[in-house]
Chains A and B, each alone.
Chain A
Amino acid sequence: KAGVTQTPRYLIKTRGQQVTLSCSPISGHRSVSWYQQTPGQGLQFLFEYFSETQRNKGNFPGRFSGRQFSNSRSEMNVSTLELGDSALYLCASSLGTGRLIYGYTFGSGTRLTVV
């Protein structure tokens, strides 16, 4: 069973540019959550998508957006990049239904560097 796949693994962008990151969940998982992790920091929740709808959102500016497709693959977009956006972006997928979070599994992440 394939795991959570994130592409690309590494990315270097210039301030002011925009970037799109992709996450393919485990087959059958309908929920995809995105996190930002900066050096020495914890997992800062960005947003969660379930069945193509944003179900939860963290405290990030509107420059951070996302979407989910009918096959549950998700993309997140960051516009007008700032140096502080340099981070490891992790996505996690789960079944997303029911009271408990079954099989919440992380991808390997995309390391974004803004110069």
Chain B
Amino acid sequence: GENVEQHPSTLSVQEGDSAVIKCTYSDSASNYFPWYKQELGKRPQLIIDIRSNVGEKKDQRIAVTLNKTAKHFSLHITETQPEDSAVYFCAAEAGNMLTFGGGTRLMVKP
């Protein structure tokens, strides 16, 4: 089955800096890659996703890049703000189910 690895597990940045979270996946048939943000005590919420026919997608301060050849995708957050502090999960779709990475705890210091 699909295996998704996510790095780093924790990331601390200064407010205004950029943050990058990377994921790799194993199933070359995967072609949908969403990212979820989970704030403390809340449910994971979809923040951005990308499909395999696209190499990059941006939504304001958030962008996701996909390299299908290397089987990795990344989340980029620019101009980080304290409210970006949360746990971020990447996921890859295979066989009509999502497999999640282990999560990255992002801390944005004011």
Residues A42 and B102 in contact in the complex (CB < 8 Å), given A101-B32, A106-B45, A108-B42: yes
Residue of B nearest to A100 (CB): B32
Q: When the two chains form their complex, are residues A105 and B96 in contact, meaning their CB atoms are under 8 A apart?
A: no
Contact of B95 among A42, A56, A92 (CB under 8 A): A56
Q: In whole angstroms, how far apart are the Cα atoms of A97 and B97 in the complex?
A: 10
Tally of contact residues, B, Cβ under 8 A:
21
Dominant secondary structure of chain B at its interface with chain A: strand
* Contact B95–A104 (Cβ < 8 Å): no
Q: Is A68 an interface residue (CB 8 A)?
A: no
Contact B43 A107 (CB under 8 A): yes
The answer to whether A101 touches B98 (Cβ under 8 A) is: yes
Whether A33 contacts B89 in the complex (CB less than 8 A), given A42-B103, A108-B43, comes out as no
* Interface flags, B33-68, vs A, CB<8A=1, else 0: 010100000111110000100000000000000000
Which of these, A55, A100, A109, contacts B43 with CB under 8 Å? A109
Chain B contacts for A104, CB-based, 8 A: 34, 46, 98
- What is the 8 Å Cβ interface bit string for chain A, positions 39-74, against chain B (1 contact, 0 not)? 001110100101000011000000000000000000
Interface pairs (15), CB distance under 8 Å = A41-B102, A41-B103, A50-B96, A56-B95, A56-B96, A90-B44, A100-B31, A100-B51, A101-B32, A101-B34, A101-B93, A101-B96, A104-B98, A106-B43, A106-B45
Other CB < 8 Å A-B pairs besides A35-B100, A56-B95, A106-B36, 16 of them?
A: A42-B101, A43-B44, A43-B89, A43-B100, A45-B99, A50-B96, A56-B96, A92-B98, A98-B96, A99-B32, A99-B96, A101-B98, A104-B98, A105-B46, A106-B43, A106-B45
- Using CB atoms and an 8 Å cutoff, list the residues of chain A in contact with chain B: 31, 33, 35, 41-43, 45, 48, 50, 55-56, 90, 92, 96-101, 104-109
B interface with A by C-beta (< 8 Å): 31-32, 34, 36, 42-46, 51, 89, 93, 95-103
